[in-house]
């Protein structure tokens, strides 16, 4: 099924010739509603076949040999390890008077689950990832019981569609005998008797995958778990469950395949300390094309963060006695550049995070919607999250900038004072650099924001290598926040730019929808115009521009390279969604149909085909150097996306390159490969 062909990778590498494992094109052709689409590399979707394994191994050999000849890889790896040699902590979750969080020390150390009984206490390790699974598994989705005696957590490789559940007794560190699998990687929600919890079970695979809500009683086997909602499973349906802060209700949200927004139902559990699961599932919010995120309840009033008739977000109350009515508590921001980013319930208050041109502000409101005041933050920071407990005035706030390492502060809403809880400290002189926010023109749309970080003495003569990052999808807000890899790039004389494209969540629902389905081209245009702006303004040149994206951002890069292969010197798509036509089969099910579309009509098939990187490779163009990276065990985005795209690019592109693939889990090594490759082809560090 495959054959090794000699391919001279040319002047790009002094070592001379390398081997491409050129894939044999098969005869597969699919017909969707009368539209015939060739799929010659369908065989690469079978990750376990001998042919696929051999092809991937040969590609890895070629990439490994090429990367070994690039000194930039070693230089960047060394610096990433130095910069990453610090203590990192996640936002803590407080229950039962204890604080639970993930903690790691060093760039290659996976985070362990820790607890502190008091904020000033030294952390105590409850669960080390090396003790609960094979190498590379991560701990996620922390959910302590309300008495703080047990904590549930997910165990799985990074970016998994489903996780295995772990249960740890906090006092002793021992694991419960309960074994649960196929959970959605989100926190479970405990009933207030602390004897069990609701969770989301992932059922089925690929396009037939759906979700349902179950209840697990501690000390029982999973086959005895009670189905609560979502059965029989509908393909593409996503769900969630959350017990109200008073323990009386469980609130359930559900979203159908290809539809934006969610419905909300609930069950009255009766007494919080003696919940009954036999209650009827009652509808509260029918599907109405809007997002309703449950925040908290007070008596018979439920509070939601929603974009219903408020594209930039608002907070409403719904009374169970009149579910068709909405009481506005915190209104939609009035300025077009301002968006309600998140709402946290803590100490009987609503802590609201607002963004104005991607700069965060925090405000506290009471349950009547009265503004109590602003929570002071440093200027121009991006808030990455807020955590708190319904019964405590204590909240934890995480913020950073591109140049300012992540800080977590402990804030008291009653006293209105803050103190540091954890600050990342790195050996990096941020005073030598500056971040500038610019606004640039795009095609058929509003001006786009971009954050550009560089040395203060940068000369705008086009001589600097520049790394441009973008995403533009899935309602994801790309924040100007701290990460280690850009620091290494900056130290070598590089420019780092982040563009806030349509399709993301930066400016509300309208902004998101303007980069989805048949409007996906808007995100592509925005990214192309970002690159053109950087060149025109003298930040860089085409020969020194590196473009990078992950997941949906990998799709962005693939599409942009097809439309503008002259755009840059090198491209780094990581785990990209390259076969849009078959995204339901290759991206953890049909959960992303709301963004990309479905194959339900011929018109939608044509939209998918037009935006699919795999199906639009140009045979008349010279492409830049491309290094694809993928996690060979990836479930959320299967590596077949990258495999098929690379096979087509190697076979179809007229010239340019090289076109390489390196598989491996995310981490320091992958970043060294990627940035080292980009550095080599842009003249970084010279």
Instruction: Please check the confidence at residue 17 and state whether its pLDDT lies above 50.
Output: no
Q: What percent of the chain has pLDDT over 70?
A: 97
Residue where a domain terminates, one of 400, 425, 450: 425
Supply the pLDDT for residue 587.
75
Instruction: Please check the confidence at residue 29 and state whether its pLDDT lies above 70.
Output: yes
Instruction: Please check the confidence at residue 650 and state whether its pLDDT lies above 70.
Output: yes
Spatial CA neighbour of 555 closest among 483, 628, 498: 628
Indicate whether 492 and 628 sit together in one domain.
yes
How many Å from the N-terminal Cα to the C-terminal Cα in the chain?
Answer: 43
| H-helix or E-strand spanning residue 79 | helix 71-83
* Beta carbons of 453 and 490 less than 8 angstroms apart: yes
What is the mean pLDDT of the segment spanning 456-462? 98
CATH code at position 651: 3.40.50.1820
Kindly report, residue by residue over 159-189, the tens digit of the pLDDT: 888 999 999 999 999 999 999 999 999 999 9
Indicate whether 469 and 411 sit together in one domain.
no
What is the spatial distance between Cα 278 and Cα 503, in angstroms, rounded to a whole number?
41
User: Under 8 Å CB-to-CB from 322, ≥6 apart: which residues?
Assistant: none
Helix, strand, coil percentages for the chain (3-state, nearest 5): 20, 35, 40
Query: For residue 368, is it within any domain?
Result: yes
Query: For residue 360, is it within any domain?
Result: yes
Indicate whether 551 and 519 sit together in one domain.
yes
174: tokens are 């021992």
Supply the pLDDT for residue 567.
98
* Beta carbons of 305 and 313 less than 8 angstroms apart: yes
What is the spatial distance between Cα 245 and Cα 191, in angstroms, rounded to a whole number?
10
Kindly report, residue by residue over 67-103, the tens digit of the pLDDT: 999 999 999 999 999 999 999 999 999 999 999 999 9
What is the mean pLDDT of the segment spanning 42-55? 96
What is the mean pLDDT of the segment spanning 594-619? 96
| H-helix or E-strand spanning residue 571 | strand 570-574
Instruction: Please check the confidence at residue 206 and state whether its pLDDT lies above 90.
Output: no
Instruction: Please check the confidence at residue 6 and state whether its pLDDT lies above 70.
Output: no
Please, what is the Cα angle at 199 between 195 and 202, to 5 degrees? 145
What is the mean pLDDT of the segment spanning 639-662? 96
Query: For residue 186, is it within any domain?
Result: no
CATH code at position 319: 2.120.10.30
Q: Three-state DSSP class for 672?
A: helix
Strands 495-499 and 466-469, sheet pairing: parallel
Instruction: Please check the confidence at residue 588 and state whether its pLDDT lies above 70.
Output: no
Please, what is the Cα angle at 388 between 386 and 393, to 5 degrees? 120
Query: For residue 209, is it within any domain?
Result: no
Instruction: Please check the confidence at residue 7 and state whether its pLDDT lies above 60.
Output: no
Dihedral angle sign, alpha carbons of residues 556, 558, 560, 563 = negative
The reported pTM is: 0.96
- Please report how many Cα atoms fall inside a 13 Å half-sphere around the Cα of residue 591, on the Cβ side: 20
Number of domains in the chain: 2
Indicate whether 617 and 676 sit together in one domain.
yes
Supply the pLDDT for residue 18.
43
* Beta carbons of 286 and 253 less than 8 angstroms apart: no
Q: What is the mean pLDDT of the chain?
A: 94
Query: For residue 266, is it within any domain?
Result: no
Supply the pLDDT for residue 208.
85
Query: For residue 224, is it within any domain?
Result: no
Indicate whether 474 and 367 sit together in one domain.
no
Burial 451-480 (b: 16+ CB within 10 A, else e): bbbbeeebeeebebbbbbbbbbbbbbbbbb
456 to 198, 486, 490: CA distances (angstroms): 52, 16, 11
Instruction: Please check the confidence at residue 9 and state whether its pLDDT lies above 80.
Output: no
Indicate whether 520 and 640 sit together in one domain.
yes
What is the spatial distance between Cα 589 and Cα 586, in angstroms, rounded to a whole number?
7
Supply the pLDDT for residue 14.
38
Instruction: Please check the confidence at residue 13 and state whether its pLDDT lies above 70.
Output: no
Indicate whether 478 and 495 sit together in one domain.
yes
Indicate whether 570 and 644 sit together in one domain.
yes
Residue 226 CA to chain centroid, in angstroms? 31
Indicate whether 455 and 530 sit together in one domain.
yes
Residue where a domain terminates, one of 404, 425, 446: 425
Q: Three-state DSSP class for 650?
A: helix
Query: For residue 482, is it within any domain?
Result: yes
Spatial CA neighbour of 551 closest among 599, 600, 503: 503
User: Under 8 Å CB-to-CB from 333, ≥6 apart: which residues?
Assistant: 312, 313, 339, 340, 354
Give the confidence band of 319 by pLDDT, cuts at 50, 70, 90.
very high
Give the confidence band of 108 by pLDDT, cuts at 50, 70, 90.
confident
Instruction: Please check the confidence at residue 5 and state whether its pLDDT lies above 60.
Output: no
Give the confidence band of 634 by pLDDT, cuts at 50, 70, 90.
confident
Instruction: Please check the confidence at residue 3 and state whether its pLDDT lies above 60.
Output: no
What is the mean pLDDT of the segment spanning 512-525? 98
Spatial CA neighbour of 522 closest among 468, 577, 472, 447: 472
Indicate whether 449 and 588 sit together in one domain.
yes
Indicate whether 383 and 456 sit together in one domain.
no
Supply the pLDDT for residue 589.
60
Residue where a domain terminates, one of 372, 407, 425: 425
For residue 350, the enclosing domain spans: 313-425
Residue with tokens 């990258």: 642
Lowest mean pLDDT among 303-312, 446-455, 589-598: 589-598
Query: For residue 144, is it within any domain?
Result: no
Instruction: Please check the confidence at residue 316 and state whether its pLDDT lies above 80.
Output: yes
Supply the pLDDT for residue 130.
86
Instruction: Please check the confidence at residue 343 and state whether its pLDDT lies above 80.
Output: yes
Indicate whether 521 and 411 sit together in one domain.
no
Supply the pLDDT for residue 12.
40
* Beta carbons of 471 and 552 less than 8 angstroms apart: yes
Give the confidence band of 16 by pLDDT, cuts at 50, 70, 90.
very low
- Give one DSSP letter per residue of 250-280, joined into a string: EEEEEE-TT-SS-EEEEEE-EETTEE-S-SP
């Amino acid at each position: 099924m495959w054959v090794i062909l000699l391919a001279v990778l040319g002047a790009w590498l002094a070592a001379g010739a390398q081997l491409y494992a050129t894939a044999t094109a098969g005869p597969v052709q699919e017909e969707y509603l009368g539209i015939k689409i060739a799929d010659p590399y369908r065989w690469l979707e079978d990750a376990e076949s001998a042919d696929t394994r051999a092809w991937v191994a040969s590609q890895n050999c070629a990439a490994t040999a090429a990367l070994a000849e690039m000194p930039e890889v070693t230089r960047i790896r060394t610096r990433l390890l130095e910069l990453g040699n610090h203590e990192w902590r996640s936002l803590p979750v407080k229950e039962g008077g204890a604080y639970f969080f993930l903690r790691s020390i060093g760039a290659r150390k996976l985070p362990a689950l820790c607890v502190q009984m008091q904020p000033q206490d030294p952390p105590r390790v409850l669960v080390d990832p090396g003790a609960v699974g094979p190498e590379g598994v991560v701990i996620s989705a922390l959910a302590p019981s309300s008495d703080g005696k047990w904590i549930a957590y997910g165990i799985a490789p990074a970016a998994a569609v489903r996780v295995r559940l772990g249960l740890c007794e906090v006092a002793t560190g021992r694991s419960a005998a309960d074994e649960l699998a196929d959970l959605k990687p989100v926190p479970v929600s405990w009933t207030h008797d602390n004897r069990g919890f609701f969770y989301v079970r992932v059922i089925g695979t690929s396009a037939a995958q759906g979700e349902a809500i179950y209840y697990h009683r501690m000390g029982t086997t999973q086959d005895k778990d009670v189905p609560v909602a979502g059965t029989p499973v509908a393909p593409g349906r996503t769900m969630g469950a959350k017990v109200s802060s008073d323990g009386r209700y469980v609130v359930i949200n559900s979203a159908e395949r290809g539809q934006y927004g969610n419905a909300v139902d609930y069950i009255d559990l009766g007494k919080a300390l003696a919940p009954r699961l036999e209650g009827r599932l009652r509808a509260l919010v029918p599907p109405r094309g809007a997002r309703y995120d449950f925040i908290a309840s007070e008596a018979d009033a439920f509070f939601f963060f929603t974009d219903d008739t408020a594209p930039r977000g608002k907070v409403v109350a719904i009374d169970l006695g009149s579910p068709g009515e909405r009481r506005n508590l915190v209104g939609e921001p009035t300025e077009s550049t301002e968006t309600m980013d998140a709402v946290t319930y803590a100490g009987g208050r609503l802590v609201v995070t607002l963004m104005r041109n991607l700069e965060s502000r925090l405000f506290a409101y009471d349950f009547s919607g009265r503004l109590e005041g602003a929570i002071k933050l440093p200027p121009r920071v991006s808030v990455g999250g807020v955590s708190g407990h319904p019964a405590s005035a204590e909240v934890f706030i995480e913020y950073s900038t591109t140049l300012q390492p992540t800080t977590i502060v402990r804030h008291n809403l009653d006293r209105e004072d803050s103190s540091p809880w954890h600050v990342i400290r790195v050996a990096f002189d941020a005073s030598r650099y500056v971040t500038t926010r610019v606004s640039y023109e795009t095609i058929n749309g509003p001006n786009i924001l971009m954050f550009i970080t560089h040395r203060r003495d940068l000369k705008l003569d086009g001589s600097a290598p520049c790394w441009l990052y973008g995403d533009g999808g899935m309602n994801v807000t790309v924040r100007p926040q701290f990460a280690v890899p850009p620091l290494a790039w900056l130290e070598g004389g590089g420019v780092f730019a982040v563009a806030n494209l349509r399709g993301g969540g930066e400016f509300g629902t309208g902004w998101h929808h303007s980069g989805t389905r048949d409007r996906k081209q808007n995100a592509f245009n925005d990214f192309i115009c970002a690159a053109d702006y950087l060149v025109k303004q003298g930040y860089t040149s085409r020969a020194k521009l590196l473009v990078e994206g992950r997941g949906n951002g990998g799709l962005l890069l693939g599409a942009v390279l097809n439309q503008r292969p002259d755009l840059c010197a090198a491209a780094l798509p990581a785990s990209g969604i390259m076969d849009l036509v078959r995204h339901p089969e290759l991206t953890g099910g049909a959960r992303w149909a709301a963004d990309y579309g479905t194959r339900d009509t011929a018109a939608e098939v044509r939209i998918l085909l037009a935006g699919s990187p795999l199906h639009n490779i140009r045979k008349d163009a010279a492409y830049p150097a491309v290094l694809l990276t993928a996690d060979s065990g990836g479930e959320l985005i299967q590596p077949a996306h990258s495999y098929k795209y690379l096979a087509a690019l190697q076979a179809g592109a007229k010239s340019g390159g090289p076109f390489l693939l390196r598989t491996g889990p995310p981490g320091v090594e992958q970043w060294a490969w990627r940035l080292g490759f980009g550095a080599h082809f842009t003249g970084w560090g010279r």
